[in-house]
Every structure is written in C-alpha cells, then in structure tokens.
Amino acid sequence: MTTSNIKDCIDSDVHMVWETVFAVEKYSQWRSDLSKTEIINEKQFIEYTKDGFPTTFTITAVEPYERWEFDVENSNIQGHWTGIFTSKGNKTQIDFTESVTVKKIIMKPFVKSYLRKQQVQFVMDLKKVLKK
C-alpha cells in the first residue's frame, strides 16, 4: 500500500472550504483535472478526468466541517481517502491522506508520484476557487 499526505492552510474559513470540497457536483467548475462528476446516490459519485477516465468514490464517513472519508477505486488502484478540516479562525488547516493499492504491478513505481501530483493540483485548484 502506498500513502500520500498533504497538509496546508487555506485562507478561508472552514465552512467555505468544507462547502467547496463537499460540493462534488460542482467539481468540474473549478478542478482543472476533471471533465465532469456524476452523482450515483448519497454515498457514491464518479469523477471523470479530462480524458474520460472514471474513478468511483464511496463515502464512508462524514463529520460536517471536520472530517470526510471515502473509498476510491478505478481500474488501476483501490484505496481510501481521509480529509481533516480544522478551523484556525478565518483560515482552515487541511490534512488529506490517501492510501492506495495498485491493481496493475506495472503501475507500482509511479503511484506515489501520481498521488502527490493529484493532491498538489487539488489544493492549488481549491485555493484558486476560494480566492474568487
């Protein structure tokens, strides 16, 4: 299993950060890596990359404005994501951890850098949309 973590401080209050991250149906409006999201039900959604590659997310825990967790799966990986949101006055500390297992052995050497790249892009896009 490969684990990647990113921590950062967002210049926005926890309610705004949470509402933005939790609004999956609006991801394609601000996430530069996605073409669309599809809500399956209240516990599942699918993200599609710009190339149309799908990843399914199954929500396993929700503690509003504090914690969000889900299982992640596509044809290359399966794993778990945990997001911790901590209010720091009018700022928010985020702590996102993703742990995955590769399904294809050929992917193993690339998975750590892939996860890191995804996390950095997500945080950059999040900061950008919250500045608007």
Q: How many domains does the chain have?
A: 1
The full length of the chain comes to: 132
Query: DSSP letter at 15?
Result: H
Q: What is the domain range of residue 18? A: 2-131
Looking up tokens 């993200």 gives 47
Residue from 7, 8, 11 nearest 128 by CA: 11
Tell me, what CATH number does 95's domain have? 3.30.530.20
Q: Which portions of the chain are predicted below pLDDT 50?
A: none
pTM, full prediction: 0.94
